[in-house]
Chain A
Amino acid sequence: MSSSVLYDAPGPRARTRNRIIGAVAVIGIAALIWVVVSRLDAHGQFAADMWEPFQYKRTQERLLHGLQDTLTAFGFAAVLSLALGALLAAGRLSDHRPVRWFCAAFVEFFRAMPLVIMIFALYVGIFGDAPLWALVIGLTLYNGSVQAEIFRAGINAVPRGQSEAAYALGLRKTQVMSSVLVPQAFRSMLPAVLSQLVVTLKDTSLGYIITYEELLYVGKLIAGTTSTAEGYPYIPVVLVIAPVYIGLCLALSGLARWIEARGRRSSKGAPPAPAADTGIAPDSGAGTIVVAAAADQ
């Protein structure tokens, strides 16, 4: 349903009303922004010395280094969590009850564990000398569990008739999986998988808690070591770093939308019907839902 279905094409009075509401909203938001900016300015948050550190080459290199470390952790965590997710999903769809139960318990446990707690425990308990691995393994356990659920939902969303037909042809379970179910499920679960990768990327920022020198850690260091007349430049640092994260995440979700759109264009015939409770629907509006539905931030 496109949003315009929710209201009639506005007539003259409705148009006027909408314009008034719009104008009030614009003025309100603009006023709010103005208040925030001017108060920040009054507190010297835009003073030159607050922003000065960013002009230096070493600072910029440090920030780039931080970005690089962020991407490194993300790269490892992305690959490992996808692998773990595939393994766990296969386990949950297994015919052997103990395997199924073990994987279900694993997934449920790590999905319920806050990442901060996991990372902190791994760092203090095991990886005291390698914060990167504490971060990557923490991210992998958690995101892998979530990815497993996405894979499982995707496989379950393929119409039953498909696997029944495949079994009737005499294919074995592995063959049914690999040549019938997975290829069909792949397209429908791709957006959800990529959205979860966005979550993975964002969560690398928690590495600062265990002194992994990623982007946020570097930002915090810059803020903490620059004493200016108005205090420490936490706000300028946020203003510099946030757009980088937002840009990276938008690029990733842009990629998700692009792949999705491409998949739809090239698909002949009807896409697999969505299962109601998985939150995975093939139409574009719903592509975004999956972010919220399947993915735990």
Chain B
Amino acid sequence: MRTRRTAAAALAVLALTAVAACGKDGSPGGDSSGPGTSYEVKKNVSITGSPTFDAAKKRGKLIIGAKADQPNLGFEDVASGTRSGFDIEIAKMVAADLGFSDKQVEFKTIPSTNRETAIAGGEVDYYVGTYTINDDRKKQISFAGPYFVAGQDLLVSKDNTAITGPEAVKGKQVCSATGSTSIKRIADQYGAKTTAFDTYSQCVDKLLDGSVDAVTTDDAILKGYAAKYPDKLKVVGKPFSQEPYGIGLNKDDKALRDAINNAIEAHEKNGDWKKAYDATLGKSGANATPPQLVRY
């Protein structure tokens, strides 16, 4: 009994020291997608009638919801602790126009399933993370933007010649994130068999080991992954939906929504939008232009 106890204690200590000892700084592969620029922070910003903004001002920092595992879009490098990607840049631009510098911004990772909850519950001030604007969601929250228009596409293995578009996935195993619009569409309209996990990385892992035939979601996300595995994966390249990405925020905070829309517009005009795109999603080779804002 004594030996077993000692062994258990030793195991715990070993595990802890293994974790705590000898750490390197920096990050493996030095992955950083993003121009790394900071945007000019506006001073003395005040938005009348926005409880969200007032609360953020009072606590001295802005809490922004984002994704953490989408390379080139919303990505958190755990080893270096930095966030990067197109969505992150958009979030920072808006923050700067609201008067919050990079240091006053705290990003919080929120998975797709919990987005409405997190926004409605005030866990985040606003959310920037491949968030498709639709009426269902507008019942619970509201959207600024769109700041980008993506389209649902398919990610397949490089040597796959059978899947040429959404019409070819009938009866095939297609993976996507639980609760996404993509998974409903590919199942209901195109008759694919679906596999659902809560992150796309899990899907891509399954695609790499061959358990699923394709991963489906917005092309922006897929290109980020394809760029990580240029020898193994490719994006089919026939988008079959329109996914206008918006910034999600509190349903009743019209004042903040207008302010965010103004910020997006300003940065689209001064070229920051383009710069951010080229440094992130643009690396996949595809061009894009900012979409028309929809104010309401």
Contact = CB atoms under 8 A, between A and B. Distances in A.
A254 interface: yes
Contacts of B58: none
B1 A257 contact: yes
Contacts of B204: 227, 231-232
Nearest to B207: A231
Interface string A44-87: 00000100111111111111100100000000000000000000
Interface residues on B, range: 35 or more
A243 B15 contact: yes
Interface stretch (B86-94, B108-116, B158-166): B108-116
A244 interface: yes
Contact of A128 (B11, B78, B118, B205): B118
B127 to A, nearest CB: 13
A52 B28 contact: yes
B286 interface: no
A186 B199 CA distance: 46
B121 A129 contact: yes
B283 interface: no
A52 B12 CA distance: 22
B102 interface: no
B117 A225 contact: no
Interface string B77-114: 11111000000000000000000000000000111001
A211 B109 contact: yes
A251 B205 contact: no
B23 A57 contact: yes
Nearest to A49: B28
A56 B209 contact: no
Contacts, number: 141
A129 B123 contact: yes
Nearest to A218: B78
B23 A231 contact: no
A183 interface: no
B70 to A, nearest CB: 9
Contacts of A230: 208
Contacts of B111: 211
Contact of A56 (B18, B21, B26, B225): B26
B104 to A, nearest CB: 20
Contacts of B16: 64, 67, 244
A276 to B, nearest CB: 27
Interface string A250-264: 110010011001000
Contacts of A223: 201
A191 to B, nearest CB: 13
Interface in B1-45: 1, 4-5, 7-9, 11-16, 18-29
B72 to A, nearest CB: 11
B27 A246 contact: no
A261 B75 contact: no
B24 A123 contact: no
A254 B8 contact: yes
B5 A222 contact: no
B83 to A, nearest CB: 11
A244 B23 contact: no
A64 B81 contact: no
Contact of B208 (A224, A225, A231): A231
B69 A225 contact: yes
A64 B5 contact: no
Contacts of A43: 209
Interface string A216-251: 001011111111011110100000100110111011
Contacts of B123: 128-129
A128 B119 CA distance: 9
Given A211-B109, A227-B228, A261-B1, A244 B78 contact: no
A224 B114 contact: no
B190 interface: no
A64 B8 contact: no
B71 interface: yes
Given A128-B120, A225-B76, A231-B205, A244 B20 contact: no
B4 A254 contact: yes
A-B complex: 5 closest residue pairs judged by Cβ atoms: A128-B121, A57-B23, A247-B12, A250-B8, A224-B201
13 contacts: A43-B209, A57-B25, A58-B27, A58-B79, A63-B19, A128-B117, A222-B78, A224-B201, A225-B77, A231-B209, A244-B16, A247-B12, A247-B14
Given A43-B209, A225-B77, A246-B11, 8 more contacts: A56-B28, A57-B25, A62-B78, A63-B19, A232-B204, A250-B4, A251-B5, A258-B5
Interface of A: 43, 49, 52-64, 67, 123-124, 128-129, 210-211, 218, 220-227, 229-232, 234, 240, 243-244, 246-248, 250-251, 254, 257-258, 261
Interface of B: 1, 4-5, 7-9, 11-16, 18-29, 68-69, 71, 75-81, 109-111, 114, 117-118, 120-123, 199, 201-202, 204-205, 208-209, 225, 228-229
